[in-house]
Structure 1
Amino acid sequence: MAIERPTPEQLDALAQRLHMHLTTEQASEYLALMQPSFDAYDLIDAQPDEIPPVRYPRDAGLRPSKADNPLNAWYYRTEVCGASRGKLAGRTVALKDNIALAGVPMMNGASTLEGFVPSFDATIVSRLLDAGATITGKATCEHFCLSGGSHTSDPGPVHNPRRHGYIAGGSSSGSAALVASGAVDMAIGGDQGGSIRIPSAFCGTYGMKPTHGLVPYSGIMPIEATVDHAGPITANVYDNALMLEVIAGADGLDPRQYAPVVEPYTQVLDRGVRGLRIGVLLQGFQLPNLDPRVADKVRFAIDHLQQLGAQVSEVSIAEHGLAGALWQPIGCEGLTAQMMHGNGMGFNWKGLYDVALLDKHAQWRENADALSATLKLCMFVGQYGLERYHGRYYAKAQNLARRVRAAYDQALSDYDVLLMPTVPILAQPLPSATASLTDYVARAFEMIGNTAAFDVTGHPALSIPCGQVEGLPVGMMLVARHYGESTLYQAAAAFEASIDWQHL
């Protein structure tokens, strides 16, 4: 099928948008010169796309009724059975709804994407199925994944399974809620500013944001390639380590992956913490909105780790605050360029593109007013930075990120693990339907003070439950060197085995 050729009038308008001016004669001559390029487009259009084959049968499934979805944590229910044997045989898995599952609808929490059906499986989906998992559906996620609360998804708010009417965290809200409620054994989340760890802290699950690039992001709708992460959310440490063993490693399709180092994570879980050097990050306890009850639970857990034999002392990393600030231009300008202007895929990277997703997501411009307030806010900041300052702050933030990473790396040369609260607050009530714009946005971003930094630097970070306050979970975050996931699991497993967090 031949692509549509521009008219002279269209070319003249296009030139003006590029700040150029053409005479009528020039426009006609340029049109003639452009024809060989368009012939090449025709040749490309005639070729079949190069996408992975779908190897396990499935049907589209269905949207569950409210009665069958009390937390609103499911977007779509289905059943895709994997191999008859493997590490995950007999385990049920939910996928965050920004992950491609061929033949099953995906809307990434946003009405502008509703109706899109992926034609291939994400790499991690294929790996889960090859390992014997059964995928039982797509978990509700926040509107294009732009919220640490659970109130921005167009399918409606996700309720915390431990207190109805309260935030479950985001943006992997449904993933954590389904695991915490026992609806599935395991789930996959995504994390660009804390979106695996935040809902894990609020719901009482174990959430691992792996080293940037350890888990392939191929087939997952990106926000910004330099902060995109995917990882496991589970009810215990062993399942988390097991799931990471299955999904980690290079796939040859994701430029986020440099030279990922994969280890047998489940083999370190009985090593204990005796002699492990834990640095308690002072700045992680200095967030202005830190609830003292959260701090008390985390400090009790620190004392317990010390009783188990860990060597614990405080460490100061002045760059921790800067790391969070760097997220603003990287996240906002980056997502505006890649996810929005780049129609969900962006440019200038080699890997697996979802052409159908690009076509569908490009339609956001036809109903931009329907985008969430959280996404609009990030786009306004990002577009201003791109237009007024030509992306210089994105560029400088990426340069400064190397300094910040080096500061954490320096501390991690003296310590095996850094420790701090995952989020500074307890789960808050879901905003009402009449909440002000300010309150709506505040509930989305008030908890990212400690989490966003490690999306910028790429360090692995694991949130583990370490107690409750009035029935609401508290999360403790452990951070290690790049590809140091085994150390995180070692510490988490020792804590989990020695004490019941639900009685703390």
Structure 2
Amino acid sequence: MADKGKLYNNPVVRAPDAEELKELSKEWGFHIPDDELSEIRDYMCGFLHEYEVVDSLVSPSLDVKYPRTPGYRPEPEDNLCNAWYWKCDIKGASSGPLFGKTIGIKDNICVAGVPMTNGSKVMEGYVPDIDATLVTRILDNGGRIMGKTNCENMCFSGSSWTNDTGPTLNPHDPVRSTGGSSGGSAAAVYNGEVDMAIGGDQGGSIRIPASWCGIVGLKPTWGLVPYTGAVSIETTVDHLGPMAKNVTDCAILLKAIAGLDGERDSRQPRDLQVPDYVQKLDKNLAKWKIGLVTEGFEPCEKDVQSVVRDAAMKLSQADATVEDVSIPLHKDGNAIWAPICVEGGYQCMILGCGAGYQNKGFYTESVVTKLRAGYEQQRRQLSDPMKLIMLMGGHIQKNYGNRFYAKAQNLNMKLTEAYDKALDKYDVLIMPTLPYTAPLLPTKDATVTERLKNALGMIKNTAPFDSTGHPAITINAGTSAGLPVGMMIIGKRFDDAKVLQAAFAFEQLEK
């Protein structure tokens, strides 16, 4: 046992004084006598010495292989649709499949030396000292990173108005939502400012803005793309993936960023294999069976239903058989996702400061440190959806513990099985990406209820596949009143090549 006098003044972890420990004991209902509490406190100090040892050791880090300057915060006139938080110019290898391609990186992903906020003032002033794994992979493959694209406040919104730098505007109509939380990535791609971008997806945050901007966005199979170096919402629904104007570019970018990240990301299976997604693109869908999920079409706007159904039926011209299929549990998919993301997000993103607990792998320590301080100092600046998750997560945890989270995760296995059973019969499943086209951004006099509905009301079809982990791609199926309508294609887990092929076949039919 280390010297107690030293430990009581431990500069790393302060020991609780007698009154603090007594109060903690009362909160837990222990009713421990003072003399026993004193002994517990003395023994606790021995453990605090181990924390001091841990603090003195050097943690492993992630590589920063390519030189760069910090870049700059763009002025409004240099920031079309407010798509960018920060602009830079980082050149990767002089050859590779991404050579000549420009890429935007969502602002929840670490790029060393480039400021990052995750859409919120709680992280203002943070500059990562690491490159996320996928950032290094993009640069290794010859990509050129042009900056950090704006995202929603802590990425917890499907609309595009909660970012602390202001709303990201829809390139088709600036008074409408771009969608979130990867709205900046979608707008930058649509506007031609970059060839490709990286988005993140926990409830639809790649597919929502891709759908409302009319581009291609893929939420890969859970675990296919390492999440190392990105801020986590909830580890069992965290995804990173490609966004581009066409399917081929999505496939090229996926090939570059996918694959095992050693022991750094426990989301990934150890035997993970990555095929050449570009070589597997084929417009011929002979002998394919495609299921239109009836529950995914209701309730959706009538025009959205007809646009997506008409688009899906065109795949019969590629020799596929297209027919309706019922998956009744899909109607409850959003309900099953909700406790996982709300309670899990409360534990991981709030209490765990964007890293969570109980996962082997790499933790971005500087993010954890910054978020803890930020939550203390800037919590009033958090968005309505973030305040909702903190209040609701705290209420559920205090009164019910993990009961609903545990049941939802168990039900998620049943939901996964339901989709898998359908995918045993069908090569891919199709439904509208979103139930309606891009809505108007909320006005200054909008009520809290109106703002929350605007932020979270569109995820009924997207969120279930974050909890089950199936790959899901959105591609523009057409328009309704001049606004893009997305068609979502879902496949078996780790058969991302098939959803890309189906999207490619549709894309070729539209040419």
Question: Is TM > 0.5 for Structure 1 vs Structure 2?
Answer: yes
Which residue in the other structure is 1:277 paired with? 289
Q: Indicate conservation of the 8 Å contact 1:209/1:229, yes or no.
A: yes
The 1:164–1:15 alpha-carbon spacing in structure 2 relative to 1, beyond 3 Å, is same
1:321 aligns with 2:340: no
Say which SS state the counterpart of residue 232 (structure 1) adopts. Answer: strand
Which residue in the other structure is 1:172 paired with? 182
Cα displacement (A) at 1:271: 4.6
Which residue in the other structure is 2:447 paired with? 436
Which residue in the other structure is 2:378 paired with? 367
**Counterpart AA for 2:469:** G
Listed as ranges, the gaps of 5+ residues in structure 1 are: none
Q: 1:456 aligns with which of 450, 467, 472?
A: 467
Say which SS state the counterpart of residue 257 (structure 1) adopts. Answer: coil
Q: Indicate conservation of the 8 Å contact 1:80/1:134, yes or no.
A: yes
TM-score (norm: length of structure 2): 0.95
Distance 1:468 1:418 in 2: 21
Say which SS state the counterpart of residue 76 (structure 2) adopts. Answer: coil
1:235 aligns with 2:245: yes
Cα displacement (A) at 1:260: 2.9
The 1:377–1:201 alpha-carbon spacing in structure 2 relative to 1, beyond 3 Å, is same
1:423 aligns with 2:434: yes
Q: 1:406 aligns with which of 409, 417, 427?
A: 417
Q: Indicate conservation of the 8 Å contact 1:216/1:257, yes or no.
A: yes
Which residue in the other structure is 1:45 paired with? 55
Distance 1:380 1:55 in 2: 42
Distance 2:267 2:124 in 1: 27
Distance 1:110 1:80 in 2: 24
Distance 1:226 1:238 in 2: 28
Distance 1:89 1:251 in 2: 22
Cα displacement (A) at 1:286: 1.0
Which residue in the other structure is 1:91 paired with? 101
Which residue in the other structure is 2:14 paired with? 5
Distance 1:126 1:19 in 2: 50
Say which SS state the counterpart of residue 275 (structure 1) adopts. Answer: coil
**Counterpart AA for 2:297:** F
Q: 1:119 aligns with which of 129, 154, 161?
A: 129
Q: 2:116 aligns with which of 106, 111, 130?
A: 106
Which residue in the other structure is 1:159 paired with? 169
Cα displacement (A) at 1:423: 0.5
Distance 1:368 1:410 in 2: 44
Which residue in the other structure is 1:26 paired with? 36
Say which SS state the counterpart of residue 267 (structure 1) adopts. Answer: coil
Distance 2:31 2:115 in 1: 45
Say which SS state the counterpart of residue 71 (structure 1) adopts. Answer: helix
Cα displacement (A) at 1:53: 2.6
What pairs with 1:364-403 in structure 2 (closer than 5 Å)?
364-403=375-414
The 1:79–1:440 alpha-carbon spacing in structure 2 relative to 1, beyond 3 Å, is same
What pairs with 1:174-323 in structure 2 (closer than 5 Å)?
174-252=184-262, 253-258=264-269, 259-287=271-299, 290-323=300-333
Q: Indicate conservation of the 8 Å contact 1:127/1:247, yes or no.
A: yes
Cα displacement (A) at 1:24: 4.1
Distance 1:19 1:119 in 2: 43
The 1:483–1:141 alpha-carbon spacing in structure 2 relative to 1, beyond 3 Å, is same
Q: Indicate conservation of the 8 Å contact 2:64/2:112, yes or no.
A: yes
Which segment drifts farther, 155-164 or 373-382? 373-382
**Counterpart AA for 1:212:** W
The 1:367–1:22 alpha-carbon spacing in structure 2 relative to 1, beyond 3 Å, is farther
Which residue in the other structure is 1:493 paired with? 504
Say which SS state the counterpart of residue 319 (structure 1) adopts. Answer: helix
Q: Indicate conservation of the 8 Å contact 2:260/2:272, yes or no.
A: yes
Say which SS state the counterpart of residue 77 (structure 2) adopts. Answer: coil
Cα displacement (A) at 1:366: 3.3
Distance 2:90 2:24 in 1: 46
Distance 1:435 1:153 in 2: 17
Cα displacement (A) at 1:457: 0.7
Q: Indicate conservation of the 8 Å contact 1:272/1:493, yes or no.
A: no
1:351-376 deviation per Cα after TM superposition (whole angstroms, max 9, x unaligned):
11111111111121333222111112
Cα displacement (A) at 1:384: 2.2
1:204-238 deviation per Cα after TM superposition (whole angstroms, max 9, x unaligned):
11000011101100111000011111100001010
**Counterpart AA for 1:113:** M
Distance 1:489 1:343 in 2: 34
Cα displacement (A) at 1:442: 1.1
**Counterpart AA for 1:230:** L
The 1:118–1:20 alpha-carbon spacing in structure 2 relative to 1, beyond 3 Å, is farther
The 1:51–1:406 alpha-carbon spacing in structure 2 relative to 1, beyond 3 Å, is same
Distance 1:47 1:492 in 2: 49
**Counterpart AA for 1:264:** D
Which segment drifts farther, 450-459 or 18-27? 18-27
**Counterpart AA for 1:433:** K
Distance 1:56 1:191 in 2: 27
Q: Indicate conservation of the 8 Å contact 1:113/1:361, yes or no.
A: yes
Say which SS state the counterpart of residue 67 (structure 1) adopts. Answer: helix
Which residue in the other structure is 2:342 paired with? 332
Q: Indicate conservation of the 8 Å contact 2:216/2:476, yes or no.
A: yes
**Counterpart AA for 1:5:** R
Distance 1:261 1:245 in 2: 11
**Counterpart AA for 1:357:** V
Which residue in the other structure is 1:78 paired with? 88
Q: How many aligned residue pairs are there?
A: 498
Distance 1:340 1:91 in 2: 36
TM-score (norm: length of structure 1): 0.96
Which segment drifts farther, 360-369 or 236-245? 360-369
Distance 1:26 1:354 in 2: 38
Q: Indicate conservation of the 8 Å contact 1:329/1:385, yes or no.
A: no
What pairs with 1:132-147 in structure 2 (closer than 5 Å)?
132-147=142-157
Distance 2:59 2:85 in 1: 28
Percent of residue pairs identical: 45
Deviating runs (4+, > 6 A) in structure 1? Answer: none
The 1:180–1:145 alpha-carbon spacing in structure 2 relative to 1, beyond 3 Å, is same
Say which SS state the counterpart of residue 117 (structure 1) adopts. Answer: coil
1:110-158 deviation per Cα after TM superposition (whole angstroms, max 9, x unaligned):
1111111111111111110100111110000001111111111111100
**Counterpart AA for 1:130:** D
1:259-299 deviation per Cα after TM superposition (whole angstroms, max 9, x unaligned):
43311100111252222110000001112xx1111112111
Distance 1:18 1:103 in 2: 44
CA RMSD of aligned residues (A): 1.4
Q: Indicate conservation of the 8 Å contact 1:466/1:474, yes or no.
A: yes
**Counterpart AA for 1:406:** E
Cα displacement (A) at 1:486: 0.9
